[in-house]
Amino acid sequence: TAGAVFAAVDIGASSGRVILGRVSGSGVTLETVHRFPNGVVEVDGGLRWDFDALFAEVLTGLAAAARAAGEHGETITSIGIDTWAVDYGLVTKAGALVAQPYSYRDDRSRAAVAPVHQKLDPARLYATTGLQFLQFNTLYQLATEPDLKGLQALLIPDLIAFLLTGVRRTESTNASTTGLFDAVAGEWATEFLTALGLPKDVFPPLIEPGETIGTLLPAIAARTGLAHATTVVAVGSHDTASAVAAVPAQEENFAYVSSGTWSLVGLELKHPVLTQASREANFTNERGVDGTIRYLRNMGGLWLLSECQRTWAADGYTPELTKLLDTASALPPGGPQINPDDPYFIAPENMPDRIRAAVRHTGHLLPDDPAAITRCIMDSLATGYAKAITAAERLADRTVNTVHIVGGGSQNRLLCQLTADATRKTVVAGPVEATALGNILVQARAAGKVDGGLADLRRLVAASHGLRTFTPQQLSRL
Ligand code: LFR
């Protein structure tokens, strides 16, 4: 088949991008046409996202995409949107956003956990939703809203799609992170909405990746230079769902780490694991593309390092990341570690001090030295990855030989090697842009430009992106 071009809007917690993806029967290539920063902002005493600014960047990016495609005589077939999960904007019946959306890093939902669990036993919640307990899961955030009458909660990618098309839908992979979605039925857990006193239509109806959300509103078409008939297609709108869809696995059983701000570590399964043991291990059953289950642990990630870098930069210390990692690599193994999962690390500010305090708490000492702190983070992440993979194998009764690391962390050779050492498994690193690739490939399949299941999409990723392999070296201390 002839090639086609698609646009991916992919926004993470620290940056966003609009990417053109060109897909043919033999592969997929990406061209980033617009990049912009993102981060939480303090407004009205809370940590929020500057959504208005983000949406303006999306429009700028789509205009750049239209121009870049036009220069090659191409027409963009469709647009797919993915972002981080759990957060939402409240929208009136008339379609107005009532406030900038809160960030999951805001602490307000912590106090809502106990009251929610009084109405809904956590064991019962897990048996239906299979969702790992995190204090910021959407249901706890919604429980803090004073009045939802006449309002609808649109998850961030759904909110963007709504502003582009005027159509309200909730994409199912992201719906699975709300804590209000039935992991087996693949439907809203309406009994939980009722139990929490939430309006039945607090979320718009579900839509599956690959289905069309709508076409562009005339005003959006005019502003971006895209054709009015351009469709917005649902993709794995939870960034992790898109990333996992593009893991270049060649075998059926594999583990993955989607390594960015967070580390999402686990397996892909056909059926959820809803056992008590799984709940105690805090494993999540998020929905993947094609109704798969992303059986994983949501662990701390490179946020630990990026926050340290932010603090060091404020002190005038701005080493290049590769230099910092090289120096950290040269340090001896067996240094102190932290638990990257600790909620203590969720909030921003003073990360180096907090890491050193956490190490002190374990009875060890960590010098106030960026390389030592960096090494501590990498050792801790690799250990965490290995523990999570071992636990996932046990809980899901699987054995895997290969660990795929995708996302930003796949470029971090130290982290990849330490993960190979800690897991005693082969690590395959890349692609860095797995999320955008998963987004683009689901659109391409919807447009009939590629055929088949996830295995076929993954073959295309493996065929068109260079991957690096790491094999276990020194014995880890696990
Ligand atoms: C990764 C991610 C994780 C989710 C966290 C918060 O970007 O989407 O999967 O747990 O962000 O939404």
> Is 262 a pocket residue for ligand 1 (Cβ < 6 Å)?
yes
Contacts of 79 (CB under 8 A, 6+ apart): 6, 7, 8, 9, 62, 164, 226, 230, 231, 232, 233, 443
Q: Is the pLDDT of residue 130 over 60?
A: yes
386-410 residue pLDDT tens: 999 999 999 999 999 999 999 999 9
295-339 residue pLDDT tens: 999 999 999 999 999 999 999 999 999 999 999 999 999 999 999
Q: Is the pLDDT of residue 219 over 50?
A: yes
> Is 86 a pocket residue for ligand 1 (Cβ < 6 Å)?
yes
Closest alpha carbon to 6 in 443, 436, 458, 435: 443
Mean pLDDT of the chain: 96
Which residue owns the Cα nearest ligand 1 atom 2? 84
pLDDT band at 45 (very low <50, low <70, confident <90, very high): confident
Quote the pTM value.
Answer: 0.96
- CA distances 184 to 131, 172, 273, 387, 396, Å, are 12, 12, 10, 26, 16
Q: Is the pLDDT of residue 100 over 60?
A: yes
pLDDT band at 349 (very low <50, low <70, confident <90, very high): confident
Q: Given this model, what pLDDT does residue 90 score? A: 98
Q: Which helix (H) or strand (E) holds 150?
A: none
Distance (angstroms) between ligand 1 centre and the Cα of 71 equals 35
Instruction: Assess contact for 162 and 154: CB atoms under 8 A.
Output: yes
Instruction: Assess contact for 156 and 87: CB atoms under 8 A.
Output: yes
Tokens of 50: 């500057």
Q: Is the pLDDT of residue 475 over 70?
A: no
- CA distances 68 to 20, 31, 61, 74, 291, Å, are 8, 9, 10, 9, 34
Q: What is the ipTM of this complex?
A: 0.95
Has 147 been annotated as catalytic? Answer: no
> Is 295 a pocket residue for ligand 1 (Cβ < 6 Å)?
no
Q: Atom of ligand 1 at shortest distance to CA of 301?
A: 1
The span from the CA of 365 to the CA of 278, in Å, is 34
Average pLDDT over residues 94-115: 97
pLDDT band at 477 (very low <50, low <70, confident <90, very high): very low
Q: Cα torsion for 37, 8, 209, 462, to the nearest 10°?
A: -100
Tokens of 96: 């107005």
The span from the CA of 299 to the CA of 61, in Å, is 31
Of 82, 158, 182, 239, which is the active-site residue? Answer: 239
Q: Given this model, what pLDDT does residue 336 score? A: 97
Dihedrals phi, psi of 145, to nearest 5 degrees: -75, 125
pLDDT band at 283 (very low <50, low <70, confident <90, very high): very high
pLDDT band at 359 (very low <50, low <70, confident <90, very high): very high
> Is 240 a pocket residue for ligand 1 (Cβ < 6 Å)?
yes
Average pLDDT over residues 2-9: 92
Distance (angstroms) between ligand 1 centre and the Cα of 219 equals 31
Which residue owns the Cα nearest ligand 1 atom 11? 84
% pLDDT > 90, the chain: 95
Q: Given this model, what pLDDT does residue 3 score? A: 79
- DSSP secondary-structure letter at 432? T
Q: Given this model, what pLDDT does residue 1 score? A: 54
The span from the CA of 250 to the CA of 248, in Å, is 6
pLDDT band at 348 (very low <50, low <70, confident <90, very high): confident
Q: Given this model, what pLDDT does residue 478 score? A: 43
Helices 51-71, 156-165: axis angle to 10 degrees equals 60
Beta-bridged to residue 406, according to DSSP, are 258
Average pLDDT over residues 185-201: 97
